[in-house]
Chains A and B, each alone.
Chain A
Amino acid sequence: GQNIDQPTEMTATEGAIVQINCTYQTSGFNGLFWYQQHAGEAPTFLSYNVLDGLEEKGRFSSFLSRSKGYSYLLLKELQMKDSASYLCAVRGGSNYQLIWGAGTKLIIKP
C-alpha cells in the first residue's frame, strides 16, 4: 500500500530551529510537497522537491532523498506565527493525485 508517515506533534522554542521528518512508501514518485495549514484554514504551499537535495526558501528549507523515501522540512528562526500543522504530500505514480500525510502539529513556545 501507499503510506506517508510524519510525527503527530512537535514542540519548539521561538527563535530556534526545528526539523519535521516525513517518510513515504508509494508506487512511483513524481515529487514531494510540503504545505502549511493553520488551524481552521486551508493548506498553503511551502515547497516542492523532485530531485535529491536541499531546496532553500528563506527561513524554510526542504530536503529529499528518493533512495531512502525520506524528506524533511527545516524551519529556522522560529516565530510564533509558525505554529501550524505541516503536511507532507507525495505525488506517486499518477500525474496529479497527491497522497497526504496526516500532518505534524508544530507548537511554538516563547
Chain B
Amino acid sequence: GAGVSQSPSNKVTEKGKDVELRCDPISGHTALYWYRQSLGQGLEFLIYFQGNSAPDKSGLPSDRFSAERTGGSVSTLTIQRTQQEDSAVYLCASSLGPGRENEQFFGPGTRLTVL
C-alpha cells in the first residue's frame, strides 16, 4: 500500500473485553513498531518486530498485551481484559529496516476508549 494503515480507526469497548488492533505496514518494510500515545503525552514504545520475530517486547505494559506479525507483513496487537487506563491512541510505524538512519512511517492510529 501507499502508506501504513491501521484498523479500526476508533474502538470503544467495555472494561474487561478483549480488543484486537491491526496494522498493515508499507510493503517491503521489514521493521514494525507499536506505540501508545496518551493525550498530551509522548509516544510510549510497546514492541518492535523485525520480520516475524519480536526481539524487543520490553515496552509491553503487562501480560494482558500481546502482539504477533505474520508473513513479515500484517501485525495485530491484542489487549485482553481491557482496563480504563488502556485508553489511548495506538500507533503503528514501519521502516525499511532497523538501521539507525531509517525514518519510521506512521499509520493514522487506532483510538481506543475503554468505558
Q: Which residues in A have some Cβ–Cβ distance to B below 8 Å? A: 4, 30-31, 33, 41-45, 48, 50, 87, 89, 91, 94-103
Number of interface residues of B (CB under 8 A): 25
- Whole-angstrom CA separation of A45 from B105 in the bound complex: 7
Residues on the B chain within 8 Å of A42, using CB: 4, 91, 106-109
Which residue of B is nearest A91, CB measured? B100
B1 within 8 A of partner (CB): no
CB distance A43 to B43 under 8 Å?
Answer: yes
Residues on the A chain within 8 Å of B40, using CB: 102
Q: Which of A48, A89, A95, A96 is most buried by chain B, counting CB atoms within 10 A of its CB?
A: A96
Residues on the A chain within 8 Å of B101, using CB: 31, 48, 50
For residue B92, give the distance in angstroms from its CB to the closest CB of chain A. Answer: 9
For residue A94, give the distance in angstroms from its CB to the closest CB of chain B. Answer: 7
- Whole-angstrom CA separation of A97 from B107 in the bound complex: 17
Q: Which of B31, B43, B45, B107 is most buried by chain A, counting CB atoms within 10 A of its CB?
A: B43
Which residue of B is nearest A88, CB measured? B42
CB distance B109 to A33 under 8 Å?
Answer: no
For residue A104, give the distance in angstroms from its CB to the closest CB of chain B. Answer: 10
Q: 17 A-B Cβ contacts within 8 A? A: A33-B103, A44-B106, A45-B105, A48-B101, A48-B103, A50-B101, A95-B98, A95-B100, A96-B31, A96-B33, A96-B50, A96-B56, A97-B48, A97-B56, A98-B45, A98-B104, A100-B35
Residues on the B chain within 8 Å of A102, using CB: 40-42
